Amino acid sequence: MSADADLLARARAWADDDPDDATAAELRALAERAAAGDADALADLADRFAGTLQFGTAGLRGALGAGPMRMNRAVVIRAAAGLSSFLHERLGGPPVVVIGYDARHGSDRFAQDTADVVAAAGGRALLLPQAWPTPVLAFAVRHLGADAGVMVTASHNPPQDNGYKVYLGGRVVTDAGQGAQIVPPYDSEIAEAIAAVGRVADMPRSAADAERNGGTQEVLGTDVLDAYVTRAMRLAPAGGARDVRVVLTPLHGVGGALVERVLREAGFTDVTVVAEQAAPDPDFPTVAFPNPEEPGALDLALATARRVDADLVVANDPDADRCSVAVPDPRAEGGWRQLSGDEVGALLGELIGSSAAGTGATLACSVVSSRLLAAIAARHGLEFRATLTGFKWIARVPGLDFGYEEALGYCVDPAAVRDKDGITAALLIVTHAARLRSIGRSLLDALDDIARAYGVYATGQLSVRVADLSLIGAAMSRLRQAPPTTLGGSAVVRTLDLSEGTEELPPTDGLLYETADRSRVIVRPSGTEPKLKCYLEVIADVEHDADDAHLAEVRAQAAERLAAVRADVAAAAGV
Cα gap 79→84, rounded to integer Å: 8
CA nearest neighbour of 316 among 270, 235, 262: 262
CA nearest neighbour of 314 among 351, 279, 263: 263
What's 201's DSSP letter? G
Cα gap 270→264, rounded to integer Å: 8
User: 393 Cβ partners below 8 Å, 6+ apart?
Assistant: 183, 366, 387
**Alpha helices (H) in 380-469, listed in sequence order:** 391-394, 422-438, 443-454
Residue 438 annotated among the catalytic residues of the structure? no
Q: Look at residue 494 and give its three-state secondary structure.
A: strand
Q: From the candidates 155, 324, 340, 366, which is the catalytic residue?
A: 155
Cα gap 194→75, rounded to integer Å: 9
User: 345 Cβ partners below 8 Å, 6+ apart?
Assistant: 365, 369, 370, 372, 373, 404, 405, 406, 410
- Angstrom distances, CA of residue 249 to CA of 233, 256, 313, 321: 21, 7, 8, 13
Q: Are strands 216-219 and 271-273 parallel, antiparallel or unpaired?
A: unpaired
Partners of 180 in beta bridges: 168
Backbone conformation region of residue 99, classed left if phi is above 0, alpha if psi is from -120 to 50, else beta = beta
Cα gap 389→391, rounded to integer Å: 7
What's 215's DSSP letter? -
- Angstrom distances, CA of residue 393 to CA of 58, 215, 406, 429: 11, 32, 14, 23
Asked if residue 168 lies in contact with residue 182, where contact means CB atoms within 8 angstroms, the answer is yes
Q: Cite the active site residues.
A: 155
